[in-house]
A = this chain, B = another copy of it.
Amino acid sequence: MKKLINSPETVLDDALAGIAAAHPELSVDRANKVISRGAGGGRPGKVALVSGGGSGHEPLHGGFVGPGMLDAACAGEVFTSPVPGQMLAAAKAVDTGAGVVFIVKNYTGDVLNFEMAAELAVEEGVSVETVLVDDDVAVQDSTWTAGRRGTGATVFVEKIAGALAEQGADLATVVKAARDVNAASRSFAVALTACTTPAAGKPGFDLPEDEIEIGVGIHGEPGRRRDKLRTAKEIVATALDAILADQPLAAGDRTIVMVNGLGATPLLELYVVFHEVAAAFAERGIVIARSLVGNYVTSLDMAGVSVTVCRADSDMLSLWDAPVDTPGLRWGA
């Protein structure tokens, strides 16, 4: 295992120290492993958005904390859910009295821990609503998930609901918008290589030199099948077939599309993939109104790509365009 770390045991704490040093506008609570907006975040009456999950998917979630997006993020150990105490600390740190939205990717550990944290928060007088993200159409159940896994749509939910909260919407309105974005989004991923967690020290699964995993999860969970390496065009066709089979899109529908690198994929290749998505959508008359191409929801050093498509109405697009100022997404601010 080759990694730029000091030891598997200290990687998360060292990275949090690095985040604190690189982003002095954020507040990093290393004891609780919570990243939140510093002073000035959380105007009175603003609904707070809190997310979190296992580390190893950066910039998700800590890189999306800041004006226009999350108020706080809890970092678990690599590929391991944070614990309820972290989530409670995050909720209490950013609650203004207007309530807190937990944005939770659908993995059993995350779901149970956020559920317990929500109960604890309510006991302490914090109103909490939970939004589950489950956009990955590859498989129905998976290694660590009952139901669909939550992946790339998390970025869309955090951005759009974050913009709405920033504008002063109330708890119910923010929650509804977040659920609408999740309901309108679908993702599908393909892995070219496995990834290696610092603790394990070896790849999470074996993938022969000429094979790819179709429908892989963001921790390397199995997808639908193994396949021989295909062209970018064929891989995109497979991903879009799965996405569109689950949520048909019609000519004229407007979408937000993310072509996301899983960690070790050159940006050059992500643009090749985006070209194929754009060409396939152009053939069908589907409009790509907004897009992201880059590394947003990663799986450590996995090579591969995920495609996320959100059918976006005018309100979503307008919230997408609203200013955002985080380490991972920044515009208009």
Contacts and interface: CB of A to CB of B under 8 A. Distances in A.
Contacts of A177: none
A122 interface: no
25 contacts: A2-B303, A4-B232, A5-B269, A5-B272, A6-B233, A11-B268, A11-B269, A12-B268, A15-B269, A15-B271, A15-B272, A17-B278, A18-B271, A18-B274, A18-B276, A18-B278, A21-B275, A22-B274, A56-B268, A58-B271, A59-B267, A268-B300, A293-B327, A295-B295, A330-B331
A266 B14 contact: no
Contacts of A264: 263-264, 301, 303
B14 A58 contact: no
A265 B301 contact: yes
A54 B232 CA distance: 22
B274 A21 contact: yes
Total identical chains:
2
A18 B272 contact: yes
Nearest to A231: B6
A238 to B, nearest CB: 12
Interface of A: 2-7, 11-12, 14-19, 21-22, 55-56, 58-59, 63, 78, 192-193, 209, 212, 229, 231-233, 235, 259, 263-276, 278-279, 288, 291, 293, 295, 298, 300-301, 303-305, 325, 327, 330-333
B271 A2 contact: no
A273 B4 contact: yes
Contacts of A231: 5-7
Contact of A18 (B273, B301, B303, B333): B273
A284 B78 CA distance: 32
Nearest to A288: B21
Contact of A232 (B14, B22, B273, B331): B14
Contacts of A63: 267
B330 A4 contact: no
Given A58-B271, A231-B5, A330-B331, A300 B266 contact: yes
A4 B235 contact: yes
Given A2-B193, A264-B264, 15 more contacts: A2-B192, A2-B303, A4-B304, A6-B231, A15-B271, A18-B270, A18-B273, A21-B274, A21-B275, A22-B291, A63-B267, A264-B301, A268-B300, A301-B303, A331-B333
Contacts of A304: 4
Contacts of A327: 293
Nearest to A229: B2
Nearest to A191: B2
Given A58-B266, A266-B56, A272-B4, A278 B15 contact: no
Contacts of A209: 2
